[in-house]
Amino acid sequence: MTLYRRVWTMELREGAEAEYDAAHANIWPDLTAQMTQNGIVRFFLYRAGTTVFAFQERNRPFPASNHSPPSGLTARWWRKMAPLMCTEGPEARPVHHDLREVFALDVTTETTT
């Protein structure tokens, strides 16, 4: 199966680290179900101070634009997270900075004998 990756960073507001971590420790089950329905097979968040590093893999290509309108559920999550993060626009979309892949080592490819 071909997997499509995207990686980006986001910034938290100073002092919001613990609340951000707690929100993700208790992420809404319907939000994770929506991600799976949208083809997300892996989604990892890492944090160093106020910088959040996000990694996603999906079983189909990502939309060409990261600025398509969010689902109602995603919009609700963004509003919940808005006081904790740097956001933009009326949707309180998290400000993100896409990262370009420069190296990948993948030894998980199945082989047949």
Instruction: Please tell me which residue in 24, 67, 96, 97 is annotated as part of the active site.
Output: 24
24 is catalytic: yes
Contact criterion met (CB below 8 Å) for 5 and 63: no
Contact criterion met (CB below 8 Å) for 96 and 8: yes
Contact criterion met (CB below 8 Å) for 46 and 67: no
Overall size of the chain counted in residues: 113
Active site residues: 24
